[in-house]
Amino acid sequence: MSLLPENTALNVQEYLQKHQQKTTLRLITCGSVDDGKSTLIGRLLYESKQLFDDQLATLEADSKRVGTQGGALDFALLVDGLAAEREQGITIDVAYRYFSTDERQFIIADTPGHEQYTRNMVTGASNADLAILLIDARKGVLTQTRRHSFLCSLVGVKHIVLAVNKMDLVDYQQSVFERIVEAYQSFAAQLGFASVHAIPMAALRGDNIIDASKQTPWYKGPSLLTYLNRIKLEEQSSDAPFRFPVQWVNRPNLDFRGFAGTIVSGKISVGDPIKVLPSGKQSRVARIVTADGDLASAGKHQAVTLTLADELDISRGDVIASSESPPAVADQFEATIVWMDEHPLLPGRQYLIKIGPNTSNVTITDIKHQINVNTMEHLAAKKLELNAIAVCNINLDRAIAFDPYLQNRDMGGFILIDKLSNNTVGAGTIQFALRRSQNIHWQHIDVSKKARSELKHQQPCLLWFTGLSGAGKSTIANLVEKKLHALGKHTYLLDGDNVRHGLNKDLGFTDADRVENIRRIAEVSKLMVDAGLIVLTAFISPFRSERRMARQLFADNEFLEIFIDTPLAVAEQRDPKGLYKKARAGQLKNFTGIDSPYEAPEQAEIHIDSTKLSATEAADLIVEKILNRR
């Protein structure tokens, strides 16, 4: 098959014009480890004559040096660029390659098959129109096959090419191919793909990659490349609503204020009415500015700067949209989440959520169910481990403009980021806004925290005592409250054990329950501080994330972290409740310091070394610092 123009007399300009008019197909290869994904892409590049002489020379040299194919070309080396990939013979990172035929341009992503690198696979699939799902003919449909299929459906991939690879190792048996196809189609019927087309192939030998193979006369369908050239994709309607997330406010001088970004759907023209979300303010487009001059109109994927007829307060993350069909605005959603971190997702813990240029705080309030990717069964879950997929309710700290993911990938897809490590720990898609996000509103109250505080003649605050069990938190907090009470201060002490007899009696001591325990205490404390009280809490509160979450609920100088620093050996020696003894005997699970971690504060406002100060001395020091703070 000829893949490049054979007419050498073809005018260069005509060729370039023809090239620009080609459609672009974005696709990924996915599947289990060692199913031949990299080899398939390498074979495509080689057979389509997309390699330069120096690349071929390098491939020949690398193939001889690595020797995985006995001196023959190892096409996987064209894609596996990392040293670790070549050493282990697996794909670790996503590798993108570009090639074209007479009919179409292709951007292909080689994604890892190993479960450890699921996040990389999701990254590659998030922009793909089609997935080539490879299956080793010797092994059939595996868990990773199902997992990648589900992830493809989750991120909106509509078309699947089921590449039953390594047919040469099963003597090109038609029965093997048909058995695998039947098993996969039975599973895939639940996922709603627009098309699933199966092709028997041997990527290493080139069977059914470019041309029909003589080894599979029973297969009457097209080769892989023929199929990729011909498949029709659903183009987003040109009249889709206009969406323009603002990435940057461009203000080079006093006379120009524009809003820069990329149009993610629809089109816009000078003079069109627009609405800015979430504020809801309206205006008209005054100019569409680009580096090459102003445009009369612009459409999807164009990066432009818009200026408006009115001076509106617009920031990064706001969305400029069609005034006739604006996106919805909400702060609570049902979403599907893929968890990608070795540390589990814990409901109640706060993360960062990034949707386009918009970054907000988010809490997963409820795991509605986890999904078994083998059976599609819904399972109960209190936390999500690495690679788990679940439907969850999420709560943002502010309202955002959005579209459901299936309507607009850019407006409904997100990633989750750990606030301490800044690592990407999850990805997800928004299904819909929860009704309560539309129906529950803040009620204005005339008597303010300031008025309540002035009545009590004190500055309200939260004293957050943290430390190991046996460190002396409750003892010191009790002394501090007594001293403040004697001075006429209005206080309340929330003690860990006491609260678990009432408000938190339904919570255990797993990590998930500990996170929820602290979330509730932080919210109750916030109400009490709003009432004008000086609140004291005595909880182990072992995780930095939750203490940080609690701190963010309060104004500057209202949250004082007090670290009662006691070595584990000393706390264990004291053991006033006999808990360490039970934990050491294996009678008490998830005990902080023994089989559950304690993350000490890094910058507590008050640091008490309980091995050097008595409880009374510590209380005196704390009271002095509280009363003298500004």
Residue 38 in marked binding region = yes
Residue 305 in marked binding region = no
Closest CA to 224 of 213, 203, 208, 200: 208
User: Are 277 and 329 in contact, with CB atoms under 8 Å apart?
Assistant: yes
Q: Which of the following is catalytic: 149, 265, 541, 545?
A: 541
Residue 472 in marked binding region = yes
The full length of the chain comes to: 630
Strands (E), 309-386: 319-322, 328-339, 350-355, 358-371, 378-379
Residue 496 in marked binding region = no
Could you count the other beta carbons within 10 Å of the beta carbon of residue 1? 12
Closest CA to 289 of 241, 251, 238: 251
Residue 136 in marked binding region = no
Q: Find the helix or strand (DSSP H, E) in which 15 lies.
A: helix 12-20
| Burial status of residue 262 (CB atoms within 10 A of its CB: 0-12, 13-18, 19 or more) | middle
Distance CA(11)–CA(285), nearest Å, equals 41
Distance CA(610)–CA(597), nearest Å, equals 20
Residue 471 in marked binding region = yes
Residue 140 in marked binding region = no
Residue 511 in marked binding region = no
Residue 37 in marked binding region = yes
Residue 410 in marked binding region = no
Residue 2 in marked binding region = no
Distance CA(250)–CA(259), nearest Å, equals 6
User: Are 42 and 206 in contact, with CB atoms under 8 Å apart?
Assistant: no
Beta-bridge mates of residue 62:
none
Residue 506 in marked binding region = no
Distance CA(152)–CA(157), nearest Å, equals 5
- Which two structure tokens, joined as six digits, stand for 553? 């609920």
Residue 175 in marked binding region = no
Residue 356 in marked binding region = no
Position 416: which residue type? L
Beta-bridge mates of residue 366:
393
Residue 167 in marked binding region = yes
Residue 166 in marked binding region = yes
- Let me know if 541 is a catalytic residue: yes
Helix, strand, coil shares, percent, the chain, to 5: 30, 30, 40
Instruction: Name the residue with tokens 């690495």.
Output: 386
Residue 470 in marked binding region = yes
Residue 165 in marked binding region = yes
User: Are 462 and 560 in contact, with CB atoms under 8 Å apart?
Assistant: yes
Residue 206 in marked binding region = no
Residue 446 in marked binding region = no
Q: Is 323 helix (H, G, I), strand (E, B) or coil?
A: coil
From residue 624, give the alpha-carbon distance in Å to each of 454, 456, 511, 601, 627. Answer: 21, 19, 35, 21, 5
Give the orientation angle of helix 174-188 with respect to helix 143-154, to 10 degrees.
Answer: 50
Residue 211 in marked binding region = no
Residue positions forming the annotated binding site for ATP? 467-474
Catalytically annotated residues: 541
Residues contributing to the annotated binding site for GTP: 31-38, 110-114, 165-168
